[in-house]
Amino acid sequence: MTKKSNHVVPTLSGGWSVKKLGTSKAIRNFDSQEKAIEYGQKLSQNQKTDFYIHKKNGIVQNKFSFSTNK
């Protein structure tokens, strides 16, 4: 079973999006990565999911786990 997670990813327009794993539609779009991270981290904490931050090239830069399963 795949863990639920949220991801901060770059957009084609130069902005940043917060997306759920396995979906193509953004939960929310932002002008800066910093604002997307702030929103995504709070969302993941509330949902108790993993949280991934991607670089501009798409590679995972950081991962945080807010899940209660250890």
Has this prediction a pTM greater than 0.95?
A: no
Q: What is the pLDDT of residue 3?
A: 76
| pLDDT tens per residue across all 70 residues of the chain | 457 999 999 999 999 999 999 999 999 999 999 999 999 999 999 999 999 999 999 999 999 999 876 5
- 49: buried, middle or exposed (CB in 10 Å: 19+, 13-18, 0-12)? buried
